[in-house]
Each structure stands twice: as C-alpha cells, then as structure tokens.
C-alpha cells in the first residue's frame, strides 16, 4: 500500500480540515505530519462547528486510527483543552488517537520566547501566532528539544535544563514575563497526555501499510509558508510540502501515492509578508466578508486577493500534486467578473515563474466572466453554470492537473466530486 497526502497549496487556511473529514471514510488511518497548534482546521457537520489545532481531522470518523506524527510540535496545555472539548461533545479520543514519542513538546518558555523575539523585531515582525512554534522547532534543530517520549524517561531533569536555558535567553533580551499560570496549565496537560498511547509512529505507519491499511497524511499551514520554499522569512518553521510527510512520519518517498493539493478559488494570507494579488479595495473587503475570512485560531482578519496561478503552479511543482481540490467556490458566486493572476511583472519584464523575491512584483491578470449563481445548494457537477465550468477548465489548462473536488459551502455535505478524465 501507498500513503496519500493532502496539503494546502497557498498561504494556509485553504480548508484542509473539511476535506480530510470528507475523505477519511476511504482510509483506515489519518496521520498529521507537521505543524502545531498555530494551524486551525475548521469542520462543520450536523449543525456543529469544530476547530482542530493539533488533533488530526479524521478523529470524527469513529473506527479510524489517528496519529500525531514526529514532525508535529505539541503543546500539552492546548492539546488538553482541545481534546477535552471534543470528548465533551461525545468523541472518544483515547481509543483512536496515537501520539509519536518523537514529537517535540512546546514548553511554556517557548511561548514566552516567541513573544520576546517578535517584540525585539519591532516593525520587522513576522506575525507569528505566539504559540511557541518557531522556538520549539529551533530547539529541535539545535538538538536541545524535549520530546513526548521524554515524559517517560528522566523528564523532570530534561524539562528543568530546557527551562533554565530559555530563561537565560530571556534575561539577555530583558523581557519581563510571568511563567506561573502557563506552567501550571502545562503540567496539567502533561498528566492528561499520559492517558494516551505513545507510539514509535514510523514503525506503526509502515506496519499498517504492510498490513494493507490505507493511510491519509494531513499537512498543516500551506506550501507557500514552507520554511525552504515559501515566501521567506514570512513562513512557518517546518516543511509544509509533500516531502514533509516523509520526514514528519518516517515514510519512504516510494510509498507516496496520490497527492491532493487544496486551494481556494481566490487567495488569502494571515500576518505579514508579500502577497502579490492582495486587494485593498471594496472587492477585497467583499471577499473577506463573504468568505468569513478570520483565523480559526487567532481570530485575525485574513488579507484577501484574486487567485495567484504563478504561485499555485510553483506549489504544484514542488509538491508533485496529482489531484486538485478547490474550496470556497461559492464565495465568488455574486461577482460579475473574476480575475486570475497568470504572470508577474518584475522591473517591467513579464515572467511566468515564481522568483526568489516576490516583494515588489506586479500581478498580470486575465479576466473571466463570473457565474452569478448561488451554488451552495448544488449537489452534482451537472448543476454547475456554464461560466463556472469555464473557470474550472481555465484553471486545469493553466495548472495541468485536474480539479477533482469542488467545495460549495462549509458543511461536509457541500462537497462535489467531479468525474473528469485523467
């Protein structure tokens, strides 16, 4: 068996959680391979709305194994709050959620370091979520991290050493903080974590594959936030691309099957960083309002713009995407004209590839007629208006990959699978 991978192709917030939930019935296992509680996956079904931060989005399908992989960073306090909220709504996590021993722990001092580093940058701040993600991955790479498996092995000593090292850094930054409440909640989270099954996830996943089980790997954030290939330095601290599933779960590249790439019918970004197609007019505000574009974790308003096909083609290339999934098509239902960026102008020269620096690029647009039809009640592609089909055909021609699934609303039922020719 091979694993299938599902990931975002833009700057995050593409709707990965909903699609994982929709696809989960086809799989035996859902495994999260990177990121931390800075990523919020929103799911809506049966009149309820759920926001997942660290727990894989397959958790709502009762008979599935869900794995938090080694590439994830985990905050015990936030995990406890998230898990308890799900359990209160009737979902039994302890029987079906496994946590990699090699996943790194976000310590209370990581969160304080995150705030201190952002404050020190002044106007050059990246716009992190303040969840301690960056400092945790920094400790991981510098070989100073504390892992989930350490909870079972000389934990107090390892935690004290990491805390002392962080406090020395904070002293040098002259940053004032109060650790008491954060630390209290964190240790309560540690005790809660002990109720779950800690696993060597690389052995578990490869064993499941050998047994013929099907696995869906779930990414967080988006390709354009990848630490290596995103719009650096305004990126996250992990590899959000397809290759991150190999390192974040211990899967060999030859075990990869389908790669599902998710994108919105338009584009959004949260926090600082370049955004070539960003709109600063009424159209941008309208997309934001219609799309309810506010962060599920931070509540921050998302920056909105037209779809960027230059960046999208780049993401498809580095991820090896085999099937596309378009989200939030319905948000554009009322627009008379839809724009799509097909090239950039750099110093007066037109280019059709994603360059090293996109800070000062100018988008080159083509215009397409809008469909001006309410698509939220549609249940099959046979109902799609002619203009929408033309938009899909245009995207497939530009991107070279079929759009297999179209979302026409937030509920899991508002998902239409297309039977396009390969």
Q: How far apart are CA 25 and CA 271, in angstroms?
A: 34
Please name the residues in contact with 3: beta carbons below 8 A apart, sequence gap of 6 or more: 31, 205, 209, 215, 216, 217, 245, 249, 251, 255, 256, 257
Query: Is there a domain that residue 235 lies in?
Result: yes
Q: Are residues 344 and 224 in the same domain?
A: no
- pLDDT for 125 equals 59
Q: Which of 4, 21, 28, 41 is catalytic?
A: 41
Q: Are residues 221 and 76 in the same domain?
A: yes
420 marked among binding-site residues: no
Domain containing residue 321: CATH number: 3.90.170.10
Query: Is there a domain that residue 371 lies in?
Result: yes
Query: Is there a domain that residue 162 lies in?
Result: yes
- pLDDT for 164 equals 97
Q: Are residues 292 and 166 in the same domain?
A: no
Domain containing residue 112: CATH number: 1.10.300.10
Query: Is there a domain that residue 422 lies in?
Result: no
Q: Are residues 58 and 131 in the same domain?
A: no
Q: Are residues 74 and 151 in the same domain?
A: no
Q: How confident is the model at residue 88 (pLDDT cuts 50, 70, 90)?
A: confident
Domain containing residue 214: CATH number: 3.40.440.10
Ranking 25-29, 36-40, 340-344 by mean pLDDT, the lowest is 36-40
Report the number of distinct structural domains present in the chain: 3
Q: Are residues 50 and 17 in the same domain?
A: yes
Q: Are residues 327 and 298 in the same domain?
A: yes
- Reply yes or no on whether 156 is catalytic: no
300 marked among binding-site residues: yes
- Reply yes or no on whether 153 is catalytic: no
166 marked among binding-site residues: no
- Reply yes or no on whether 13 is catalytic: yes
Query: What value does the mean pLDDT of the chain take?
Result: 91
39 marked among binding-site residues: yes
Domain that holds residue 276: 264-417
By the 10 Å C-beta count (0-12 exposed, 13-18 middle, 19+ buried), 190 is classed as middle
| 8 A C-beta contact, residue 268 and residue 305 | yes
| 8 A C-beta contact, residue 328 and residue 291 | yes
pLDDT tens digit string along 329-338?
Answer: 999 999 999 9
240 marked among binding-site residues: no
Q: Are residues 74 and 205 in the same domain?
A: yes
Q: Which of 4, 13, 75, 114 is catalytic?
A: 13
Q: Which of 104, 140, 323, 404 is catalytic?
A: 140
The pair of three-digit structure tokens given for residue 293, joined into one six-digit string: 């574009």
pLDDT tens digit string along 149-207?
Answer: 999 999 999 999 999 999 999 999 999 899 999 999 999 999 999 999 999 999 999 99
DSSP 211: T
Q: Are residues 403 and 270 in the same domain?
A: yes
């Amino acid at each position: 068996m091979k694993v299938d991978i599902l990931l975002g192709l833009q700057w995050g917030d593409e709707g990965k959680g909903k699609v994982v939930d929709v696809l989960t019935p086809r799989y035996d296992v859902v495994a999260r391979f990177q990121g931390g509680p800075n990523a919020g996956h929103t799911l809506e079904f049966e009149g309820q709305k759920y926001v997942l931060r660290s727990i894989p989005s397959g958790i709502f399908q009762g008979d599935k194994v869900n794995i938090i992989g080694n590439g994830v960073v985990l905050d015990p306090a936030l995990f406890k709050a998230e898990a308890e909220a799900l359990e209160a709504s009737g979902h039994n996590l302890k029987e079906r959620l496994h946590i990699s021993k090699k996943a790194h722990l976000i310590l209370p001092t990581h969160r304080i370091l995150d705030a201190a580093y952002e404050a020190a940058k002044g106007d050059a701040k990246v716009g992190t979520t303040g969840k301690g993600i960056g400092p945790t991955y920094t400790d991981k790479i510098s070989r100073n991290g504390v892992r989930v498996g350490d909870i079972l092995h000389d934990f107090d000593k390892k935690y004290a050493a990491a805390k002392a090292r962080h406090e020395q850094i904070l002293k040098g930054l002259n940053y004032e903080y109060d650790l008491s409440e954060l630390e209290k909640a964190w240790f309560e989270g540690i005790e809660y974590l002990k109720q779950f099954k800690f696993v060597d996830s690389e052995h578990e996943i490869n064993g499941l594959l050998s047994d013929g089980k099907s696995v869906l790997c779930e990414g967080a954030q988006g390709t354009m936030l990848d630490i290596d290939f995103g719009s650096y330095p305004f990126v996250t601290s992990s590899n959000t691309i397809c290759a991150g599933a190999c390192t974040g779960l211990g899967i060999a590249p030859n075990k990869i099957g389908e790669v599902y790439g998710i994108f919105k019918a338009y584009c959004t970004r949260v926090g600082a960083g370049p955004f070539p197609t960003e709109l600063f007019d009424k159209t941008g505000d309208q997309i934001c309002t219609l799309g309810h574009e506010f962060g599920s974790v931070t509540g921050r308003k998302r920056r909105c713009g037209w779809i960027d096909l230059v960046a999208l083609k780049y993401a498809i290339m580095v991820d090896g995407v085999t099937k596309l999934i378009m989200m939030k098509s319905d948000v554009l239902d009322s627009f008379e004209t839809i724009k799509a960026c097909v090239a950039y102008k750099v110093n007066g020269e037109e280019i059709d590839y994603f360059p090293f620096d996109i800070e000062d690029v100018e988008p080159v647009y083509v215009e397409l007629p809008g469909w001006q039809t309410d698509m939220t009640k549609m249940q099959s592609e046979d109902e799609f208006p002619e203009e929408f089909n033309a938009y899909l055909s245009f995207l497939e021609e530009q991107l070279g990959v079929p759009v297999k699934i179209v979302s026409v609303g937030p509920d899991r039922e508002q998902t239409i699978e297309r039977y396009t020719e390969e």
